[in-house]
Structure formats: C-alpha cells, structure tokens
Amino acid sequence: MGRYDALFKPMKIGSLEIRNRIVLGAMGIHTPRLLNQDGSFTEDGISFYERIAEGGTGLLVTSAMMVQHEFDVPKVSQAALDNISEEYIKNSKNLTERIHKHGAKIFLQLSGGTGRAGVPALMKGDPICPSDGLPNVWNPVEKHRALTKDEIQMYIDKFGAAAKKAKDAGFDGVEIHAIHEGYLIDQFTTKYCNTRTDEYGGSLEGRLLFPKKIVESIKSACGQDYPVAVRYSVRSMVKGFNDGAVPGEDFTEVGRDLEEGKKVAKLLESYGYDFLDADNGNYDSWWWAHPPVYMPRACNLEDCAAAQAEVSIPVSCAGRMEQPEIALEAVQSGKVQAVTLARQLVCDPDWPKKLMNNGAEDIRPCISCHDGCLNRIFKSKDLCCALNPAAARHIQYAITPAEKKKNIMVIGGGIGGMEAARVSALRGHKVDLYEKTNELGGMFIAAGAMSFKEADMELIEWYRRQMKKTGVVVHLNTEVTQEMIQETNADEIFVCTGSAPRKLNIPGVENDYVLTAVDALRNPEKIKGNTVVVGGGLTGIEIAYDQARQGNIVTVLEATDKILNVDVSAANLKLLYAEIKYYKIPVITNANITSFENNKVIYAVDEEAKEISADTVILSVGYTSVNPFEDTLTGNHVHVIGDANKVANLMGAIWTAYETAKDI
C-alpha cells in the first residue's frame, strides 16, 4: 500500500469510470499555436493535454468552447460549436484517442459565455446578461442588457447540439461552464445579478431554470448515460459589484451563501448533473476562483465538503489543492471525492505519477504566482508556466542529451543559477555551481520569507534537492575570482549573480531603524513597532500586507500617484487591493521622502511638508543588477542570466536559464 493510494482509487461519474481522483481543471487555451480557428486543438494543443494524461491524471477538462459566438477580435478564436465542420470532429478524435491511449478520460468544457464578465473591447455586439443595466466587471460604466427568453432558448438548444458534437468527437462527457466564477449562467443563478420577473428569475428554482434546461437538452441529445459535469461555485463571496470578501472577513453575502450553495448542489443533482467540479467566488471576488499566493491553501475545501455532504454524486474541490498531503486528506477523509488541479499540472504534469511512485519530493511545487499562466492568458498569449518553461511546448523545449559534453561553471546559487545548473546537468554536462554565501536560494530566500509564501520556500528546497539528484557539484562559501575562472577553464560560464537593493541617497538612511526590504525579510526580528514601508510596488505592498495580517501597525509611502503599478495577474492585484482595504493599511501616494530623523520619516506631498513616526522603516524601492564580471568576462561562452542581466521577476530568470542551458 502506498501513502497516497486514496487518491488513486477509481471513481464513477455516472456510469463512466475514472481511474483516479485527480482532475485537470479547465484553463484558457485560445491562441493560434494551441487552438485552430474551428475550436479544435492544434498538434501543440493536443500534445499539451496528452502530456498531462501521460503524467497520470484521471480526468482532463479542456478549455472552454463557446456554444455561441461572443468575441470579435482576431487574436481570440472565433469558434463556436454551433457552426463547426467535420474537420473539428476529425481533429478532436485525434485528441480524445490520444488521451484514451494513456488511460485517462477527457471532457469538453462548454460555455454560454461571459455576460458582464466579458472584456468590453473584445465583445461582439451589445453586451448581454440576465437583467438590464448590470455593470461590466472591467468597466462598470458599460451596462449590459438582458437576454430575451427566445435567446435563452437558443442557448439551451445550442448546448444540446454542442454536446452531441462533443460525443461524436469521442469526448467522454462534457462540463458546463456554468454556475461558476460569475459567467453568464452563474449570473442567472445569483440574486444580485438576476432581477428578472419571468420564469428565469425570482425563486431559487427560477434562477436555476437556465442550467436545468441545459442539462435536460444535453441528456436528450446524447442519452441519459452521457456524463454531464458542471463547474460550480458553492459560495459567491461577494459584498457587491466589484467588491469581494477576503478570507476571514465577516460580511453580508449578496450572491450565493453557503446555505443556498448546499441547496443548489442538491437541485443540480436532481436535474441530472453527474459531477460537481467545485470551488468558490466569481469575478467580483476573483481571487477565490483563481487563488493567488496570498490566499490560504485549500481555501475552498470546507465549502466544497459541505456541498459533498448534500449529494451522492462526486464533488471535486479546486483552489490551491496542490500540496499532496492536503489533497490526500481531502479525499481520504471523504470531504470530497476528488481534487481539481490546474496550475500544478502545468507546473509539473507528472504530479500524479510521482505520488504513485513515492516521489512526492520530486514534484516541482506551484507557487500560485499566476505569472506564466493566467496573466499570459489575459494578454492573449500562450498558456505556460513561470517555473516550467516547457509547459505547452514540451516537444520544442525538450531537454535532450548534449552532443558534446562540456565543463559548465555557474556563478551564483539563486533560482536562475540553479535552473541553469539543473538543465545543464540533465543534458549530461559536468556542472560546478559557486555560491558565495552558505546556502542556495539567493534573493528568493527573502522573497519566500513572508508568512504566506510557504510554496516559495518549498521551491527553494526542491531546487536544492535537484542539485544533488542531478550531480551538480555545489561550492558554498565560495566567492568567485578572476583567477578561479581562469583555473577552471570552463567551456561555458553562467553569470547568475543577481541583484542588490536599490539605495536611496537621503539624509538619515544610515540609521539602524532604516532597513532594506531584503534585510527586513531575512531578519524579521529587526521589525519593531510602527512600521513605514517606503515603496508601493509589489514587494512593498506584500510586506505591508504581511505585517498587517500579523497585527502590526504599518503605513505605505509611495513616490508616484499609484501603487502596484506592476505587471501581474488581475486576480493578484484585486486581492491585494481588497486586503489593503480590509486591514485599513494607510497608503500615501505622491510622497517625496526628504529625510529620516529621530524615528520619523520626513516627506512632502505637493510641496507640503509632512512627517510620520516610525520605529522601523523598510525601503522597498527596487533592485539593481549585480555583475562583478561585466568588464572581464566576455565572449559567446558567457551567459548573463536573470537579474544580473536585467532585473525582472522569477519567471524571467528561470526562462532565460532554461532556454540558454537547453541549447548549449
């Protein structure tokens, strides 16, 4: 018996047997490299899903396929299942057959569209929703009109027809998207979005009539035994339009509360749905459906468990369920019958296989950053992963044996340096990594020191284990000199010396109560009393949030007119803004710091002098590249990686290291 056996027991969705309790959640795959114009998947798209099936996942759910045209821009697929050709059936059979070859099952996700959650610039015609006048999520000035009853019936009919085409293409079932995340059908089910007075509004049963008729249409077209899953948010977690609740907040729910969520689960089962693919939240509380690092692990589990207790059909829980022990406990205890993973299976498609083979420590942990996945998807870029550059392109980015084995020198043991060393070693090169401190991890050790970043520290530990497993020779407490470089006579040299905190040339900056962000994160005992964070970028706001959630008094001073002017996912940004509001963190913009004196920060706003008391000041004003070999190491055999070349995020360092090392 293996430790994780409970995750690998078969389960039934209707009459369909799934080999285990691990489900790939649907993720947007909408770019031409992965998706054909008719909505079928290209060879790269098929390979993406096949790689996950090969890794041991039991059920795969594809990205959403519209049943009706909604968008009108070239970068977004124009496909909808109401007008597909025989070519779609042929291409999709190629996908389903290849998934089945690996013993997995696959559902096609069908969508009625976004309603008020659609991006206005991408939407076609006059935007729709359940009730007249609902504000658009992204631009509340934009108002949506109500669907007519004839239009609703058109959608219902198209769901049935689309499911029949999916069945003809070899899909084992369909998943309706759905009563989830605040998309069109979910808007019908929630009382704050549905003020209709006809049969599609009013009572709970009236608000659920649309999804009820959808499953009836599908069962009529495909047969009662054809499995139909539904993506389902147990709770909306919404206080109002564009106003979501944060974990632990006491609030009045305007959407679906837990009691209603349990009733809805029972009704969905009675209507004929065979599987609830569940979580929480909608676009007004987007961080519950797409939980970033700031959300607790298993953030939706207890609510999904409450739904499972009401029904006999299987419920799967999504939302930071990637930690093996959490997934195991959820299924083993009977809280839910399955777990839905998405980002973790992009980060490491062999998550199931590694658990089956007692290799949990080799799983590359997802850090819930959203940088390579959700943030890219919303820019109409290919789905990928910040930590796994080969995601969705594993054939092109395969690590292959090097034709000529070389001596590789890696200077710097941060994440970029360890990635360069790992990939080089996997290709068969002899790799020596030199780190001037007594531990590997570099600046990421400080980044991972915040209380909500357990996964960051797990990633560092994963890299340290990979150094041993791949045979990289690590030299700690070793500062590389020019003489050492000459003595090693390396064929290829990676310069991964990272960055250093940017300094402010301001009177009083040398006071011992003035800390850099790195110093504060590495030495939290130095943070005392009232704290002022100088800098409202991502790191500064994360530090302020971390201090506030520990009960400390903290204020943010930002030199520009806007905080969080950074390129990160909207789910991350929305949650951070909501947490600032919840914890009542004072944020002062346009603050020009002039000095630090007598435990005070002296600054000016619009030339008006101000001051604030501070027992601790934390400077988070950016970083500068560090490359001590800039003038002495040149040539095609020298590769400057990550922050040493240009200060960026973790994804930039890992991708550059991987892309360089895989080709040398």
Catalytic annotation, residues: 183
From the list 386, 298, 296, 282, the residue with the least C-alpha distance to 340 is 298
Burial class, 168, CB count within 10 angstroms (exposed 0-12 / middle 13-18 / buried 19+): middle
> Residue length, the chain?
664
d(CA 624, CA 502): 6
Q: Is 257 exposed, middle or buried (0-12, 13-18, 19+ CB in 10 A)?
A: middle
User: In this structure, are residues 229 and 174 in contact, taking their beta carbons and an 8 Å threshold?
Assistant: yes
C-alpha to C-alpha distance for 108 and 167, rounded to whole angstroms: 9
Q: Give me the helices (H) in 427-490, please.
A: 444-447, 454-469, 482-488
In 139-257, beta strands by DSSP E:
143-146, 173-179, 228-233, 238-240, 243-244
Is 279 in a helix, a strand, or coil? Answer: strand
3-class SS at 449? coil
The three-class DSSP label of residue 60 is strand
User: Which 8-state DSSP code applies to residue 362?
Assistant: G
> Quick check: 293 and 453 in contact, CB under 8 A?
yes
Looking from the CA of 533 toward its CB, the CA atoms found within 13 Å total 30
CB 231 within 8 A of CB 184: no
CA-to-CA distance for 553 and 531, rounded, in angstroms? 6
For residue 564, the one-letter residue type is L
Percent helix, strand, coil in the chain, to 5, is: 35, 20, 45
Q: Whole-angstrom Cα distance, residue 20 to residue 10? A: 5
Query: How would you class 606 by CB atoms within 10 Å of its CB: exposed for 0-12, middle for 13-18, buried for 19 or more?
Result: exposed
**Four-residue CA torsion sign, 412, 418, 424, 425:** positive
- Is residue 414 within 8 A of residue 444, CB to CB? The reply is yes
What secondary structure letter does DSSP report for 452? Answer: T
Helix (H, G, I), strand (E, B) or coil at 513: coil
